[in-house]
Structure formats: structure tokens, C-alpha cells
Structure 1
Amino acid sequence: MKKVLIVMAMAVMAICLSGNADAQNRSVEFEHSSWKKVLKKAKKENKLIFVDCYTSWCGPCRMMAKDVFTQDHVADYFNSNFVNFKIDMEKGEGPDLKPGWKINAYPTFLVINTKGEVIHRVVGAYGADEFIGYIKEAQSEDKNFAALNKAYDAGQRDGEFMFSHLRSLRLANLEKEEARKAKKYIAELKKEDLLKKENWNIIKYFMKDPATDEFRFMVKNRDQFAEVVGEDEIDSKIYNTYSKQIEAYSYFYPGKGRTYDKEGFDALIKDLQNSNFSRASELIAIALKNEYSRLNDWNMYAYVVDAALDLAVLKQYDSELRYFDSAASMIAKASKDKEMLQRALRWASYAAEKETRSEHKSGYLATKAKLLELVGKADEAKSTMMASEKEDKAAEAAGTKIISVPMMKLGGMKPAKKK
């Protein structure tokens, strides 16, 4: 019996040891001494310095420390290639070093040479392999942040280089510099050069303003661009650029000297009306719905939503049903006019009837029930609300129920802030 127990115990131990064989047990070894001593150590070992600039309140900083810097392959890479230094930018030497290092968000990761010069910077939290890839660029004589800046200042401007340079500025969270240089480069290209494949990644990732001659040229010559990069690529770029600008107008709030750019909004609508883009009507319907809501002009708001439904301009829009449901819900809150409420009821009915997913259908039926109540159809409102509750239970049983969580502080975490 004893022999059996011993064998079993050894087997369990073997399983436990086997299970731990792949366990992560190494982490990045950070120096916590003074910056002067770290620099001296780097010179002695002839290594670059990797600096983790963090704050105690930064959630993404803690995520990197807990989930990335504790992975074996991450630890092995950083420990063998760098002298690693971790510093709280709000304590000790942090406030004194911050201006020279130009820290504007957290976490910021720097690579510094033995002369104390910042040669590379990456801002934000990333997965392990992606992060290592970004930091490896610091070890390249022509791909690190400082080298790309130097080449730009020397006049290098080919498409491949500019993409690398603009990408490095984005990784460094230097949004204004990125936007300025991208806009300048694109504006200085000849129109025929916009069609060259070497410039496509710059257009795709860094052309953001639809109110430029270059963007308008792209829309006008959509078919030629499609021959170079493919229909899906060009259509996605056109749609997303317009959509993000519409979103910016939608979420605009006055303050700090800002005023609403009504002239810019009107120009955007005019461009869409004059374009041959296949989804222009859809974008106009979305933009005008937002605009008339901002102006509290419910008559025009209803006119736009009615037209979107009657003309089926949103048939390609992923959020078509949510568009009509949100419009109906808005009228339910904003108007007491029976005719207006009846129009909104039509939108709500359309969304509820077309939706097949219980987790969404439940909400759409609830909107419809509210409007039925407001127009005086109590019995129908009650039965519709019961249908909503039935769909809600179906979603819960399927594990797809949408649960709204109120905004709150979790563990004292704050969002990364800019200074």
C-alpha cells in the first residue's frame, strides 16, 4: 500500500513540475537607482537604456508591468539588450527629467543612448510581441525615432520613408507634428503621384481631412484608385474619412474658445451631394440627423429620418436599425406632438420588426412600447412591452444580454492624461 501511495505521490509531483515547466518566472530587471548611476552603468556595459516612464495612477502602466514585463521572452530580450530603468515621473527625479524627455502621456517608453540622447520613443500599452517589435526599431541605425527625424530634416521625402517617419511620430504620440507633416507631404504631391502605390499607406493612414483638394481628387478618381489598391480599400478609406469627420461634428462641444464650424459642416454636405460615392446618401442621412438633433430642429430631424427609411439609403449601414431606434427614442423624449410621435412610432416599428437578435430586439421593442403609450395605445404598449421582456429573457438565456455598466472609478485607475 505504501509503495502505491509513494508512486501516486511521485506521479502527482511529476504532473505539478511538468505544469510549471512553462510557467513565466522571469521579468524585466529594472534599475531603481539615480539616473546618473543608470547612465554610468550603460556606458560601462556599452548598452542602450530602456526607460519606463510611468505614474502610480496609470492603469496601462500597471498592465504593462503585470502582463508584459513578466513574460520570459520579454524579460530575456530587455535584460540582454538594455540597461532598464523604471521611474515614476511624478516623484523623485521624475519631474526634473520630464521636460527634457518631452513626456506628454503615460506610459511613455524611451530608448536613450550612452550620451543621454533620446533616440526612440513609444507611447501606450501593447501586447508583448508587438511591443518588442516597436522597441527593436531603436536598435536600427536608420529606423529609430531620432534617425528618422534627422533624415527628414536632411530632406528625405520618398513615400516609403515618409510612411516610416509618420508612423514613428504616431507611436510617439506627437499628433500635431504628425498631422502637420502628413498634410504638407500630401499637399505637395502632384495629383498623379497620389495614385502611386508607394503613397497609398500614407493616404490610407494619415490623410484625415475630407475638406482638402487631395481628398476630393481621390473621391473624384475613385475608379482609378480602385485599379491600384482595390475597391474595398479605396471605398473603406473614403467612407471612414467622411464618417470620422461627421462624428467630430456630432460630438462637438463649445468651450475653451472653440466654436462650431457650421461653414465646414455645410461644405462637407455639399461635397457629399456632389460626389459620385456610392454611400454618399447614407453619410448625408447620418450627418443631418446629428445636426438637426444638435439644433433641436425636430421637424427637419423627422424629415431626414423619414427620407432615410422611405428611400432605403441605409441598406449598407451596419447600424441601420439602431439609427431608426435612436431617432424614435429621441423624439419620444423631445416631442409631445402626436403627429411627430406617430412618425417616430413607424421608425421604431421598422427597427423592431427587422431585428432578429434578441439582445437588440428587446430594446427596440421597448422603444416602440414607449411610443405606443405616448400616442394613447395603452393595450398595444403593454403587449409590446411583454414581448420586449420575453426577448430580454431569451438573450439572457443565450448569454447575449447587453448589460449597461455606469461609469465609475475602478481601483483608483485614471485614464492616461496628456500634459
Structure 2
Amino acid sequence: MKKLFTGIACILALSASAQDREITFKEGDWKTQLAAAKKENKIIFFDAYTSWCGPCKMMAKDVFTKNDVADLFNGTFYNVKYDMEKGEGPALKDKYDVKAYPTYLFINGDGEVVHKIVGSMSAQEFITESSKALKPESTAFGLAKKFNAGDHSEATTVAYLEALEKAYESDKMGSVAKTYFDGLPKTSLLEARNWELVQKYLNNPSSQAFAYLYANKAELEKKYEASKVNQYFDMTFMMSVYAVKRSYEKKADLKAPKEITAAIRKLQAARPSKSSASLLAQLDLIEFAGTKQWDKFTAKVEAILADASFPRRNDLVITAANDVVTAAPANYYATAEKWANELQKTANDFSNIQITDLRKRILKKQGKTAEAEAMAAKAMELRKEAGKKGQMTPPIMND
């Protein structure tokens, strides 16, 4: 009997250890890791994470500890991980343009990224996506070489666009889609297959193909579901305006954003949409803020605020007020406070929370810490009350 129990105990111990495998990460500075990986002729698996990232923790706990995941990575890749906010992390974040967490990079011995994955996923999906790094020609980076060398076939282009989408490279995706669709015969853009691909990938209003489709919007509405046609154009314009704003805020190369801005203005002038006034106002405000023309910025907001029928008036003014607090000189804070007072008169619960958050940010910028904390507590209470009513609440603005 004793031998039986001993045997069972050994089996259970072996079973437990068999289920205990996980990705093993090497430690050391980046230069040393890169040299070691090159010596071993292995692709580096680079886990770019932060200590506060929930999805990063989930992947480490629930995916990296799966046997099939551990076996693939420990047997195939040279595994490293860096907190993007500590030590070498910030420099590596900039070097490899990490924008979201978790980001998983696959890097060859020469320090070149051959594959990239962004976001959390199941173990099986993680294995599938990671395995693509072993065939670099099928990754976004390998497909880029084919596309840039002149292979603009549908097969190569769609594979490249799909890879860019999974890598959260929306700006690059827009540039590739523009090149591809602008190279097609214009009338073919109205065909079902191309219209399907356009809706998924063509997000650049400066594209000639986009201009042709917008000019033929009525024809598209006859052939396809009108609501989806309108949704595509409305969403593309809106997201493009946000992209332009991000470029100004990052002080990036403004050549492409300025082309997009000019295209939106031209298209909206030729064929105004329901959102024309709002789109054009946003573009004006983005340009004024980006070029530090704060007097023109405030005058534009005052005009919007004075027009009670202006489309998306409250959203535009609240966003503009937050932009003032974020980037304008301190003497403009009082103007933002004045806008908040005016909006407060007719604010619904959602806007009221936004205005309270705005007041908190103004107080904090003014060094009134106690008042800012009290305003933050008030905003939290308003969120709780809205939650009890089953209402949506706005995200909390960073200070």
C-alpha cells in the first residue's frame, strides 16, 4: 500500500510539473541581449509592457503559462521583457515606436523588427500570430518590402493591410490603401469586391479614389445599403480629423496631415454633409492650437458657443476648453472657465461630468490642489449617480 501511495504521489508530482511550464525570459541590458540572440541565431521575442497594464498582466498570467506557448517560445525564440517606463524601457519604447500595451516585437539579430503584435489574445491566437515571425516574408515588415518593390497585387496588398491592421498601424495602413486604390481604374472602385475592401481599409480622404467615391456617393447608395455608405464616409472624415489632431499634438511631420486637411475642406465644399460645419470647425481649431494662435482659437470657440444650433456644440466647446488647459498659456484658463459656466446652464448629466472634470483640471493647473481634489470627488460622485441611472459616463481626462 505504501508503494502504491508513493507511486501515485510521483505521478501527481510529475503531472503538476508538466503543467507548470511558462515562458522563460533572459535578463540583461539590451545590447548584451541583442548580441546573445545573434550568436544563438534566434529571433528575439520582446515583451514591451508596463506595471499598470491590465492586459499585460493577463497575458503573463493566463497565456505565457500555457504549456504549448511556453514550449514554442522557450524552444524557438530568445525571450526578453522590458518595462517601458523603467531603466532602458523609455529609450527602447522610442527606438521601436511602441504606442500601446502590450506590444510584442520580434527582432532579428541586427535589431530589425520582423513582426509585431499588439494587444491581448487567447493562447492559440498568440501562437498563430507569433509563429508568423518565423516566416518574415508573411509579416507586415516582409510584405512591406514586396509592396514597396512594386508588387501591388490584391493578394499582397490585402495581406499587407491585414498585417498593418493587427499591428495597430492605422496611419501606415491609410498610406498603403491610398497607393493601392489610387492605382485602380476609377470605375472599378464601384464594384462590390473593391467597395468591400474600401470600407475596411481606405481611411484617407486625400486619396483620389476616396474623392471619386465621395463624388459618386449617390451611385453607391443605389447599389449598396445607403446607411452603410453614409456611415463609411462619416466615420472616415471623423477619424481623419482625429488623426490630424494627433499629428499636431505629437509635432510630427505635418505634410500628410495638411494634405488630409486640404482634401476634407475641398470635399466638404463640393458636397457638404450634415457634419460639415463641425468637421471644418475642428480643423480650424486644430490648426490654431497647433500653431499657437490662441486668440484666433478662442474667437472661433466664442462663435460656436454663441450659436445654440451649432452641431455638436457642447462637445466641441468642452474639447476646446480642455485643449486650452493642456497647451495654452495660463492667462487663457479664465476663458475656459467662462465657457464652462455658459455650458453649465443647459448641460445634461454627461456634459455636467465633463465640465466638472474640466474645472478640476483648471484648478490643478492654477495650483489650487485642495479645490482640485474636491472637484475630482464631485466628478466621481456625479459618475456614480449617472451609473445608478444606467447612463454612460465620459472617460476621465488626464491632468
Structure 2 residue aligned with 1:277: 273
Give the Cα–Cα distance (whole angstroms) in 1 for the partners of residues 356 and 49 of structure 2: 46
Within-5 A mapping of 1:164-203: 164-169=159-164, 171=166, 180-200=175-195, 202-203=197-198
Greater mean deviation of Cα atoms: 187-196 or 29-38: 29-38
Query: Counterpart of 1:286 in structure 2: which amino acid?
Result: Q
Within-5 A mapping of 1:37-52: 38-39=40-41, 51-52=44-45
Structure 2 residue aligned with 1:305: 305
1:201, distance to aligned residue in structure 2 (A):
5.5
Do residues 287 (structure 1) and 283 (structure 2) align? yes
TM-score (norm 2): 0.59
> Which residue, out of 56, 69, 74, partners 1:75?
69
1:188, distance to aligned residue in structure 2 (A):
0.8
Whether contact under 8 Å (1:28, 1:75) holds in the other structure is yes
Structure 1 residue aligned with 2:211: 216
**Deviation per residue, 1:189-234 (Å, 9 max, x gap):** 1112222333345433443331232221121222333456644443
Alpha-carbon distance change, 57 to 133 in structure 1, aligned in 2, over 3 angstroms = same
Give the Cα–Cα distance (whole angstroms) in 1 for the partners of residues 46 and 253 of structure 2: 32
Q: What SS is found at the alignment partner of 2:77?
A: strand
Query: Counterpart of 1:159 in structure 2: which amino acid?
Result: E
Structure 1 residue aligned with 2:46: 53
Task: Specify every segment of 5 or more residues in structure 2 that has no aligned partner in the other structure, as ranges.
Answer: 1-11, 28-32, 89-94, 360-375
Alpha-carbon distance change, 65 to 396 in structure 1, aligned in 2, over 3 angstroms = closer
Give the Cα–Cα distance (whole angstroms) in 2 for the partners of residues 265 and 77 of structure 1: 49
Give the Cα–Cα distance (whole angstroms) in 2 for the partners of residues 304 and 402 of structure 1: 22
Query: Counterpart of 2:44 in structure 1: which amino acid?
Result: V
Structure 2 residue aligned with 1:322: 315
Structure 1 residue aligned with 2:122: 128
Alpha-carbon distance change, 267 to 77 in structure 1, aligned in 2, over 3 angstroms = same
Give the Cα–Cα distance (whole angstroms) in 1 for the partners of residues 288 and 177 of structure 2: 33
Q: What SS is found at the alignment partner of 1:121?
A: strand
> Which residue, out of 347, 361, 366, partners 2:352?
361
Q: What SS is found at the alignment partner of 1:323?
A: helix
Within-5 A mapping of 1:45-124: 51-54=44-47, 63=57, 66-67=60-61, 69-72=63-66, 74-75=68-69, 78=72, 83-87=76-80, 104-105=96-97, 107-110=103-106, 121-124=115-118
Do residues 25 (structure 1) and 26 (structure 2) align? no
Whether contact under 8 Å (2:206, 2:264) holds in the other structure is yes
Alpha-carbon distance change, 394 to 344 in structure 1, aligned in 2, over 3 angstroms = closer
**Deviation per residue, 1:5-52 (Å, 9 max, x gap):** xxxxxxxxxxxx9xx99x97332356889436744xxxxxxxxx6631
Whether contact under 8 Å (2:244, 2:261) holds in the other structure is yes
Greater mean deviation of Cα atoms: 134-143 or 290-299: 134-143
**Deviation per residue, 1:239-294 (Å, 9 max, x gap):** 23322332344452596886998786465334213214333233234334555665
Q: What SS is found at the alignment partner of 1:122?
A: strand
Q: Per chain length, whose mean CA-contact separation is higher, i.e. which structure has more relative contact order (CA < 8 Å, sep 6+)?
A: 1
**Deviation per residue, 1:335-371 (Å, 9 max, x gap):** 989xx96x98554423x2xx145xx435548989xxx
TM-score (norm 1): 0.57
Query: Counterpart of 1:104 in structure 2: which amino acid?
Result: Y
Give the Cα–Cα distance (whole angstroms) in 1 for the partners of residues 38 and 261 of structure 2: 53
Task: Specify every segment of 5 or more residues in structure 1 that has no aligned partner in the other structure, as ranges.
Answer: 1-16, 40-48, 96-102, 315-319, 369-387, 408-419
Structure 2 residue aligned with 1:35: 37
Whether contact under 8 Å (1:163, 1:201) holds in the other structure is no
Whether contact under 8 Å (2:47, 2:81) holds in the other structure is yes
Whether contact under 8 Å (2:45, 2:107) holds in the other structure is no
Whether contact under 8 Å (1:64, 1:125) holds in the other structure is no
1:122, distance to aligned residue in structure 2 (A):
1.9
Identical counterparts, % of pairs: 15
Give the Cα–Cα distance (whole angstroms) in 2 for the partners of residues 227 and 188 of structure 1: 25
Whether contact under 8 Å (1:246, 1:287) holds in the other structure is yes
Structure 2 residue aligned with 1:244: 239
Alpha-carbon distance change, 84 to 203 in structure 1, aligned in 2, over 3 angstroms = same
Whether contact under 8 Å (1:52, 1:87) holds in the other structure is yes
